[in-house]
Amino acid sequence: MTKLQIVQDLVGQVLALGLEIDLIVLDAGFYSVDVLNYLKNFDYIMSVPAGKGEAQV
């Protein structure tokens, strides 16, 4: 499972429960263009630290 698939699955599970997401805080391991682009589609506040040596998105 990719990082993006994990995030999509978890967001889907939360929304399926009828809950709202206002804030998402992810570990640096989830810092990727795919994940950040996916989360930009929503109106979430995001916090994802960049790992050492990672290019800025």
pLDDT of residue 54: 57
Residues of the domain holding 32: 3-47
Check whether 56 has a pLDDT greater than 70.
no
Which pair of tokens denotes residue 34?
Answer: 């795919």
- For residue 57, being part of any structural domain is answered with no
How far, in Å, are 23, 26, 30, 37, 49 from residue 52 at the CA level? 24, 15, 13, 20, 9
pLDDT band at 3 (very low <50, low <70, confident <90, very high): very high
Domain count, the chain: 1
- For residue 30, being part of any structural domain is answered with yes
pLDDT tens readout for residues 9-55: 999 999 999 999 999 999 988 999 999 999 999 888 888 888 766 55
Q: Judge if pTM exceeds 0.85.
A: no
